[in-house]
A and B are shown apart, each in its own frame.
Chain A
Amino acid sequence: MQFTNNEIATYLFCAQLAQTKTTPLTIIEWNTVVKSLSEQKMQPEVLFKITPSELLKALTKATEAQKIKIVKKIAARQKLGISMLELKEIVHQGYGIMFRAQMPISLKKLTQNFIPAFFYYVGDTTILSHPILGVVGARDANADELSQTAEIAKKAVSNGVVIISGGAKGVDTTAVEASLENGGKAIVFPAEGLAKWVKKSTIRNYISNGQLLLMSAQRLDAPFSGSYAMQRNKFIHAPSNAVLVTSSKISGKKLSGTWEGVLENIKHQWSPLFVLGNSEGVEKLKVDGNAKQFSSFEEIFKQSDSTKMKTQSEIDEKIVSLVQLAIAKGMEKEVIEKKFLEISAKYYKNYEGSRLDNQRTLQDSLAQEQLEMKL
């Protein structure tokens, strides 16, 4: 894996790099930088050489308070090129880095403010484009809830649905293991860094078989972190076509991770919720009409098929109205067809080209990415 200058810049300014004793940009700061630069037809790679005063001028999208912080953080890391050895060696050991441009549509359901500048991963990333069932639930779910979870995960395999979970004990692990042991696929976003997971020989086997994908926004050797555990909930809810809540408390004085994740999903409407069992959280979801009893894969994934159909027909309508507009403006049929092909060809060239021809087209694709994220 070779990196473009823009990718190296992204890593240098956004990765944790605790060893450098400096602070990375937050997601929001990074977005501000990218937007500001893109407005002036500049790309992240300019950050290697930009002077503080030039940068101050360039940060058109930042508030005054942000400007000071950003300039300080960038100046502190600009000359720390040696620290990029970390990036090289991570990849040398078989890990991958997924920058925003490479993230699949499913992750982009998250708004821009939630998407990290990159994920660390190991395994086959195409698993992310399968139909996905998110499975969330308590560590201390009861035996009945666990056996039902396992049963559903097993059925997921025969329905070609992959499981996504947070890799915690209890529900998470039960679902993932049931899927993997039955030849299925799974995605795990653990609450600790990936290094610990990859040292286990069984995990490595599932990864090399193409069954398991591990992803994390944390550095590889990060210990378990409660706040990251909360943050990662959205990585499970957002890409899912449906989420199964098997057992949950309701947050009281002590926050319940499962419950907080579910509330976030409801707020942002990332994916439909289904439940099993009768834990207090599950009951509340049903009463409030926020979730349905888990029925069958046929029914649940058909429903998400109908969402797809809906999107399709919306787009059809938009194209029709554009064509009508063009005709009204007096354009010929051939011209309209040609334009359509040209514009879509150009779009795809730029979009794909961002990886191949990183120099010129990345900027366009970054701009597009920003647009997409705003949707």
Chain B
Amino acid sequence: MYLQELQNVFGANATFRDGQETAINSILNKKRVLVVQKTGWGKSLVYFLATKILRQRGEGVTLIISPLLALTRNQIDSTEKYGIVAECINSQINKTKEERADVVNRCNDGECDVLFITPEQLQNEDFVRLLSQLEIGLFVVDEAHCISDWGHDFRPDYRRIHHLLEILPENIAVLATTATANNRVIEDIAAQLGECEIVRGDLQRESLYLHKVFLPTAEEKYAWIAKNLEWLEGSGIIYATTIKECERLAIWLRQNAINASAYHSGLNEEVKIDLENRLSSNELRVLVCTIALGMGYDKEDISFVIHYYTPKSVVEHYQQIGRAGRGIDQAVCVLLYGGEEENKINEYFIYNSFPKQEHINQVLHFLNQNDEVKKSSLEQEMNIKSSTLDQILKLLLIEGFIGKDSRSRYFRTLKPYISQQSYYNSVIDMKVREYQELLDFQQTKECQMAYLTSALDDPNSKSCGKCSTCLGGAWDLTNDVLVSDDIAKVSQFFDKNYILIEPRKRSAVTNKKLEFIHEEGLALSYYHEQLGQEARRGKYVNNKFSDVLVNASADKLRRFLREKEIDIKELVIVPIPSNRRPKLVPEFAERLANTLQCKYIEILAKRINEPEQKSLLNSRLQEQSIRDHLYIQNHVNINNKDILLVDDFVDSRWTFSIATDLLGEVYEDITITPFALADTSGSD
């Protein structure tokens, strides 16, 4: 039917792949189509060729919503081949309002045929207003599994797509595409599309060589990665869970002479794009990233994807390994698993996906009673963690229970509130099941590819003959034998690698800069690591910190202070007081001072009835509470001294920052360095 058009582009011998022509035909008849096909099947051919024919018929442009950050060079090239013009609007290329309006005008004037935008942009009201001027004929949702998972993964960006699908007039064709979807997801997307045709093929990727290794400790995982990055060829991606883990892994790799960088949501857009480009151009060999690495990141020759942690679902896992081996014949995907810690982290994420009903009610009640409210007043009024409050506001906005005006003030809408708790619970149950599926994958004796594709309900799922399960002893793409020396190197690295305590710079109460700020401080460990757990036992079980902790602290501090050019002989250790456990920290600090052979002075004290710091959930309340209770009791002269403030755990950093503020006001020419046994931030 459209073979002629195809051959005009690809030459006289070109033929359609299974399903492509059906999809194009439906689009041209203004039907809605869902394409579930693996990477490489040719989804872009469907929308580019359909666009070409639609444009010849005088229809509007094709709008493609894709998580791609930047339109890649090869995509622009491929549209040239079709004789159509593609453009994109993103924060890099066309920043100003005028430049963006210009793109829309070019589309409406027939100078551009395909417009790429990201889902995030649909969140911006100004941008949606601009898009309202765009004349379109075809609406494409790339990576459409995200519109199913919006509740799942909290992607408010996809809310607008969901709304658009419900309201787009029938003269606009709709195409949704994905390479990763099980039956549940397909049903969900199809329900959102309404009446639609589903074009579905098998998912098995011939170029992927799957492998999994049981490595229960961080040390073993680090050692395996260093060893195998020497072994593996080409460039690739390592997935880790937390920002801190990404950064530590990247440091470890660089120390092993591997050109690696961390990539996560803590970086700004420009830095992220720069990192993507550097990986694309092979300037970088490895990106160690969280799930923040854009779904649309597309590099042809990714030759390995390593999971430092187990993803939360088969869909997520398949999506991530799917980035490998797109344009090459062989890519290795390895899941490193084992260790209690990894399950705890994943379960924490799963069970805390949604805020507590009690907190939601608090926010709603307050908004009900008021007209328009700024976020800062909400923070002041209620004891809710700032990130939880953000999450609540986001959810309520998505669900239409509240609105937000152009001045960022929130207000209650007229939509009657119905508790979403049972929905949240069903999502959590589903997540638990999906995570279990991946835990089962760790243990499976089946072909790994067959396990994944059948979990994705691929009707043609079959053994791949190339994964480490299929090959057994013949698997030689990785080297899994670790010797004690490999592990010792990692232990040394962990030991030397500092967990830094950065100072707070601005008051959350007054929003003014703090007068005195402390030096970069040090935490001995992360809470979930061995030393961190030793500290937990000390605090909650034995009411005394062990000698192991004293000695480990002294070792690490000696090196750290030397590097900071602080003379230990001149150092004064000052403990952070506590009325709840008055002896715990001072006794430890004094032993530490004895070991380091420096001075020890108790200067600070706390007024009674201080609420437990961890019961205060946002910065404003935390800072205020410390200011209300901490004071200088013992006015000893410590002018011109280097002070080491010692506490057991550090989380919000307000205690250290306010103690510094108090001391700095009274004493002259002092430096203050905080030290804590464990960094508990991010754990609960």
Q: Which residues of A does B touch, CB under 8 Å? A: 2-3, 5, 8-9, 12, 17, 19-21, 45, 48-49, 78-89, 92-95, 122, 198-201, 204, 207-208
Interface contact A92-B163, CB-CB below 8 Å: yes
**Chain A neighbourhood of B131, CB < 8 A:** 82
The closest CB in chain A to the CB of B399 belongs to A92
Interface contact B169-A207, CB-CB below 8 Å: no
CB distance from B206 to the nearest CB of A (A): 39
Interface contact A79-B400, CB-CB below 8 Å: no
**Chain B neighbourhood of A94, CB < 8 A:** 400, 413-416
Interface contact A12-B169, CB-CB below 8 Å: yes
Q: Which 3 A-B pairs have the closest CB atoms?
A: A94-B414, A79-B135, A83-B132
B411 at interface (Cβ–Cβ under 8 A)? yes
Interface contact A79-B171, CB-CB below 8 Å: yes
Interface contact B411-A93, CB-CB below 8 Å: no
Interface contact B412-A87, CB-CB below 8 Å: no
**Chain B neighbourhood of A92, CB < 8 A:** 163, 400, 415
**Chain B neighbourhood of A19, CB < 8 A:** 128-130, 132-133
Given A79-B171, A85-B160, A201-B369; 16 other pairs, CB 8 A cutoff: A9-B169, A19-B128, A19-B130, A20-B133, A78-B171, A79-B136, A79-B172, A80-B133, A81-B171, A82-B134, A85-B167, A94-B400, A122-B414, A199-B372, A204-B414, A208-B414
Interface contact A88-B170, CB-CB below 8 Å: no
CB distance from B610 to the nearest CB of A (A): 35
Interface string of B104-144 (1 = CB under 8 A from A): 00000000000000000000000011111111110100000
Interface contact B413-A81, CB-CB below 8 Å: no
The closest CB in chain A to the CB of B135 belongs to A79
Considering residues B166, B368, B416, which has the most beta carbons from chain A within 10 angstroms of its beta carbon?
Answer: B166
Interface contact A88-B411, CB-CB below 8 Å: no
Contact among B128, B137, B416 for A79, CB-based, below 8 A: B137
Interface contact A89-B163, CB-CB below 8 Å: yes
**Chain A neighbourhood of B538, CB < 8 A:** none
State in angstroms the CA–CA spacing of A258 and B223 once bound together: 84
Residue total for B at the interface (Cβ-Cβ under 8 A):
38
B371 at interface (Cβ–Cβ under 8 A)? yes
Contact among B128, B137, B160, B371 for A200, CB-based, below 8 A: B371
Interface contact B171-A201, CB-CB below 8 Å: no
State in angstroms the CA–CA spacing of A339 and B134 once bound together: 53
Tell me the residues in window 528-577 of chain B with beta carbons closer than 8 Å to chain A beta carbons: none
Given A201-B370, A201-B371, check contact A20 B132 (CB 8 Å): yes
Interface contact A88-B166, CB-CB below 8 Å: yes
Q: Which residues of B does A touch, CB under 8 Å? A: 59-60, 63, 128-137, 139, 160, 163-164, 166-172, 368-372, 400, 403, 405, 411-416
CB distance from B139 to the nearest CB of A (A): 8
**Chain A neighbourhood of B372, CB < 8 A:** 199
Interface contact B400-A93, CB-CB below 8 Å: yes
**Chain B neighbourhood of A95, CB < 8 A:** 414
The closest CB in chain A to the CB of B132 belongs to A83
State in angstroms the CA–CA spacing of A80 and B128 once bound together: 12
State in angstroms the CA–CA spacing of A20 and B160 once bound together: 18
CB distance from A83 to the nearest CB of B (A): 4
State in angstroms the CA–CA spacing of A45 and B169 once bound together: 9
Interface contact B169-A84, CB-CB below 8 Å: yes
Considering residues A21, A84, A208, which has the most beta carbons from chain B within 10 angstroms of its beta carbon?
Answer: A84
CB distance from B122 to the nearest CB of A (A): 9
Contact among B136, B400, B413, B414 for A82, CB-based, below 8 A: B136
Interface contact B133-A84, CB-CB below 8 Å: no
Interface contact A81-B136, CB-CB below 8 Å: yes
The closest CB in chain A to the CB of B60 belongs to A79
CB distance from B586 to the nearest CB of A (A): 51
State in angstroms the CA–CA spacing of A370 and B572 once bound together: 91
State in angstroms the CA–CA spacing of A201 and B137 once bound together: 42
State in angstroms the CA–CA spacing of A299 and B426 once bound together: 60
State in angstroms the CA–CA spacing of A93 and B414 once bound together: 6
**Chain B neighbourhood of A84, CB < 8 A:** 164, 167-169
Interface contact B137-A82, CB-CB below 8 Å: no
Given A79-B136, A79-B137, check contact A93 B170 (CB 8 Å): no
CB distance from A88 to the nearest CB of B (A): 4
